[in-house]
Structure 1
Amino acid sequence: MRILSVHNYYKIRGGEDESCKSEKSLLREMGHLVDEYEKDNISIPSYRSWQLATQTIWSQESYQAVRQKLQHQPYDVVHVQNSFPLISPSVYYAAQAEGVPVIQTIRNYRLLCPNALFFRQGKVCEDCLNKAIPWPGIIHSCYRNNRLASGITASMISIHRLLKTWDRKVDKYIALTHFARNKLIQGGLPANKIIVKPNFVNPDPGVGHGKGQFALYVGRLSVEKGLDTLLSAWDKLQSPFPLRIVGDGPLSELVLDKIKESPHISWLGRKSIDEVHQLMGEASFLIFPSKWYETFGRVAIEAFAKGTPVIASQIGAIAELVEHKRTGLQFQPGDSLDLAEQVEWALSHPEELQQMRLEVRQEFEAKYTARANYQQLIEIYRMAANN
C-alpha cells in the first residue's frame, strides 16, 4: 500500500507531531511506502499577513503540489494529519480530483473552534460550537490572542463549512477517543465517517520499577494543562512528597516561584523521549491535571507502558483512558483540594497502587501497542479505499 502523509508541523514540536512520526515509522516498518507532503510553522514569519490569510483558507501551492504527486505515482490513500495553517483544506480537493480517498486524523478541535481547544480564560468554552460563523472566537481573539489571526481562522472554518468540505471531501475521520468522536458529531461532522483509533507507543519502552518515590508531571507548562492546579495541590498535601516537572511553557515563571517556596518540587525542563520514559518508569505515579477537552493523552499511555498509574482530571478524553482505582485515580478538573486528596490516597494505599501498576501495563498491551494499532489503521485505509 502506498500512502501520502500530509502534515503541517508546529513551530514547537509536541505530542501530536510525535504521534504522526510514530505512525509513519510503523507503516514503513510493515513494508508500506509512505511519501510525505509537509510544511513547518517555523516559516510563518516569511509570509505577509494577506498571504498567510489566503494560504490558511485555500493554498493553491499545496493543491497543485499534492495533485502533481498523485499524478506522478499511484497512491492508495492520502492521510492528512494536520493542514493548519499553511497547507489548508485544498489538499482534500486535490486528492478527490485524482480519485484518491482522504483520511483525516483529528488531533484537536480546529474544525469546530478557532483556538482548537474549546478553552478560554482558564475554563472550558463551547461558544463557537455549532455556529455557522464562529464569531465569539473572533471577538475574544481566541487564536494567539490576535483578532486578525482569529478572524482568518474563523473564516477558514466557516467557508469550508459552507462548501461542505468536511462532509464531502473527507472519506474517513480518525478520532482518538469516543469522547472526541462524540464532540465532533455534536459539532456537525458526519457520524458515519468518524472511526475511533487511539494513539500508540512504539517501540515498547518496557516496564519500570516505580521505586523512585516521586510524582511526575510531563507536558506543556500552561493553564489548559492544569499546571496551576497541580502546584496549588502540592501546597495542600498533609505530608510532603517530591514532585518532578518536565516541560516548558508560559507558566515557567510560576514554576520557578513555587520551587523557591517548596524544596519538594523540582523542574527538569525539556527532556528527550528516552529520558521521559526513564522518569516515568521510576515515578510512583504520573499526574495529568488537564482542564481542557484533551482529544487523547499520549503521556498517559506512555506511563501505562512503563507500568505507572495516572492521577487524572475527570474531563474529556483523559477521563476515558484512566479508570478510577483500576488504572489510576480521577479528580475534579481544576480542584486542587480533590487532587491533593487523591495523591494522599495513593500514598496511603501502597498495595492498591502496586496492583494498579499491573493493571496499567495490561491496559497498554491490550489497546496501545503498535501491532494492535497497525491492524486498526490498515482496516480504516481499506474501508476508505473500498468506498
Structure 2
Amino acid sequence: MRILVVHNRYQQAGGEDSVVAAETQLLADHGHEVELWAEDNINLSIGLKGKIEAALNTNYSVGSRLIAVQKLRRFLPDIVHVHNFFPQISPSVYDACMDEGVPVVQTLHNYRLICPGAMLMRDGKVCEQCILGTPYQAVLYGCYRGSKLGSFVVAHMVKHHRKHGTWLNKVDRFIALTEFAKSKFVEAGFPEDKIAVKANFLFDPLLNPEGSGSITPPFALFVGRVSQEKGIQTLLNAWSGNTNLLKVAGTGPLDALLENQSNVQSLGRLSSGEVSQLMKEASFLVLPSEWYEGFPLVLVEAFAHGLPVLASKLGSMVDIIRDGETGVFFETGNAEDLANKARWLFDNPQERKILSANARSVFLEKYTADQNYHELMNIYQDASKQRAN
C-alpha cells in the first residue's frame, strides 16, 4: 500500500508530532511505501503581509491544493492520511484527493474542527459552547491565542466548512482517539458511522531496555507542558504539604511557578530516553489535566513502563484509566483530593505494585504497535470502500 501522510507541524513540537512519526515508522516497518508531506509553522511569514496571507490560507489554500495534486499524481497513493492541516495546508487537500479519487483518513488529535481554540476550554474551565452554537463566539473571548482577530480567522474556517459539509462529504474516515472524543464530534454533527476509535500506541520500551529501574526514594512524576490546562497550579497546591518528591519533566508558560517549591524538582525538557528512565524509577505518574485531553501519549508511556497514573476524572481519562486497577482518579481541580490520593499511593506500595502490573497488562493488550497496525489497516480498508461507493 502507498500512503501519503499529511501533517502541519506546530511551532512547539508535542505529542502529536511524535504520533505522526511513530505511525509513519510503523507503516514503513510493515512494508508499505510511505511519503510524508509536512509543513512547518516555524516557516510562517512574519509581518503584516505574512499574517494576511496566513489568515487567507487558513480557510482554503489554493497553493496547497496545487501542491497536493502534484504529490498525488507523482506518488499515486492508495490512501491519504491527514493528521493536521492547520493552518498552512488547509482543508483544500480534501478537494485535491476528491479530484484524484483517493480516499482520505483524518485523525482528530484535538478539537480544532469544532472549537477555534482546539481544546474546548475557556478561562481555565471546560467550555462546549461551540459544539452546538456558532464558533464565532470564540471571537468574543479571544479563544485562539488570546487574539480576537486570530479567533475570527479560525472560527470562519470552522463555520465555513461546517456549513458546506466538508466534514460530512470530503473525508472517508475520521479517527477519534477515545470514545469520549468521538461523542463530542458526533454531538457537533459529525457522521457517527464515519468515526473509528483508535488509540495512540507506543513501541514497547521494555523489549530492549537500556538500564533499569534503580532503588531511589519514592517520587511522583509529571511529564508534559507546564501550563494552565495541564493543571499545574492544582498540582503545586496539592504538593505544598507533601513530604515526598515531585519531579516535573517539561517546560511551559508557568515555569516560574516551579521555582522555590518545596519537594518539587524541575527537570526541564528531557529526551524520550531520559523520560523512560524516570518512569522506571517513579512511584506513579500524575496527570492533573483540566481540559478534555485527546489521548496523551504520556499515558501510553506510563502503562508501557508499568507505571500507575493519578489522574483528574475528566473526559477521555475515564475511557483510558481504570480507577483502582491501572490508576486512581481525583476530582478535577481539587488540590485537597489530589493530595490525599497521592499520599495514599505513597503509603501503599503493595497496592501500587498491583496497579503497576495491571497497567503493563493493559498496554500489552491494547496499545502495542502490532495491535495498532491491525486497527489502522482496517480503517484504511473501510475508507477505501467508502470512496469506492
TM-score, structure 2 length as denominator? 0.95
Which residue in the other structure is 2:383 paired with? Answer: 384
Which residue in the other structure is 1:343 paired with? Answer: 342
2:239 and 2:111 map into 1 onto residues whose CA distance is 31
Q: CA deviation at 1:44?
A: 1.9
Q: CA deviation at 1:160?
A: 0.7
- Is 1:372 equivalent to 2:344 in the alignment? no
- Residues 210 and 284, structure 1, Cα contact 8 Å, conserved in 2: no
Q: Which moved more, 1:168-177 or 1:38-47?
A: 38-47
- Picking from 123, 142, 147, the partner of 1:121 is 123
Which residue in the other structure is 1:243 paired with? Answer: 246
1:179 and 1:194 map into 2 onto residues whose CA distance is 12
- Residues 328 and 356, structure 1, Cα contact 8 Å, conserved in 2: yes
One-letter code aligned to 2:10: Y
Which residue in the other structure is 1:23 paired with? Answer: 23
Q: Which moved more, 1:180-189 or 1:207-216?
A: 207-216
- Is 1:45 equivalent to 2:48 in the alignment? no
1:10 and 1:275 map into 2 onto residues whose CA distance is 23
Q: CA deviation at 1:205?
A: 3.9
One-letter code aligned to 2:219: F
- Picking from 210, 233, 237, the partner of 1:228 is 233
Which residue in the other structure is 1:61 paired with? Answer: 63
- Residues 210 and 308, structure 1, Cα contact 8 Å, conserved in 2: no
Deviations along 1:227-273, one digit per CA (max 9) or x if unpaired, are 11110000143xx10010010001001111xxx141x1100000001
Q: Is the partner of 1:67 in helix, strand or coil?
A: helix
Which residue in the other structure is 2:293 paired with? Answer: 294
Q: CA deviation at 1:314?
A: 0.2
1:27 and 1:59 map into 2 onto residues whose CA distance is 28
- Mark the CA change 1:309 to 1:150 in structure 2 (over 3 Å): closer, same or farther: same
Q: Is the partner of 1:12 in helix, strand or coil?
A: coil
Gaps of 5+ in 1: none
Q: CA deviation at 1:211?
A: 4.5
One-letter code aligned to 2:138: G
Q: CA deviation at 1:319?
A: 2.2
Which residue in the other structure is 2:271 paired with? Answer: 272
One-letter code aligned to 1:196: V
- Residues 221 and 247, structure 2, Cα contact 8 Å, conserved in 1: yes
Deviations along 1:76-111, one digit per CA (max 9) or x if unpaired, are 110000000111000011101100000000000000
1:321 and 1:243 map into 2 onto residues whose CA distance is 23
- Is 1:216 equivalent to 2:215 in the alignment? no
Q: CA deviation at 1:167?
A: 0.3
- Residues 136 and 156, structure 2, Cα contact 8 Å, conserved in 1: no
Q: Which moved more, 1:99-108 or 1:200-209?
A: 200-209
- Residues 45 and 51, structure 2, Cα contact 8 Å, conserved in 1: no
- Residues 205 and 276, structure 2, Cα contact 8 Å, conserved in 1: no
Matches within 5 A, 1:94-105: 94-105=96-107
Q: Is the partner of 1:86 in helix, strand or coil?
A: coil
Q: Is the partner of 1:128 in helix, strand or coil?
A: helix
Gaps of 5+ in 2: none
Q: Is the partner of 1:315 in helix, strand or coil?
A: coil
Q: CA deviation at 1:210?
A: 7.5
CA RMSD of aligned residues (A): 1.3
Which residue in the other structure is 1:135 paired with? Answer: 136
2:194 and 2:83 map into 1 onto residues whose CA distance is 16
Matches within 5 A, 1:248-327: 248-256=251-259, 260-262=260-262, 264-327=263-326
1:304 and 1:359 map into 2 onto residues whose CA distance is 8
- Picking from 65, 70, 73, the partner of 2:72 is 70
Q: Is the partner of 1:173 in helix, strand or coil?
A: strand
Q: CA deviation at 1:122?
A: 1.1
- Picking from 82, 89, 97, the partner of 1:87 is 89
1:235 and 1:56 map into 2 onto residues whose CA distance is 44
Q: Is the partner of 1:174 in helix, strand or coil?
A: strand
One-letter code aligned to 2:42: I
One-letter code aligned to 1:161: R
Q: Is the partner of 1:79 in helix, strand or coil?
A: strand
Which residue in the other structure is 1:7 paired with? Answer: 7
- Residues 214 and 281, structure 2, Cα contact 8 Å, conserved in 1: yes
Which residue in the other structure is 2:329 paired with? Answer: 330
1:180 and 1:225 map into 2 onto residues whose CA distance is 18
Which residue in the other structure is 1:33 paired with? Answer: 33
Q: Which moved more, 1:68-77 or 1:225-234?
A: 68-77
One-letter code aligned to 1:7: H
- How many residue pairs were aligned? 380
Q: CA deviation at 1:203?
A: 4.4
Q: Is the partner of 1:362 in helix, strand or coil?
A: helix
Q: CA deviation at 1:128?
A: 1.3
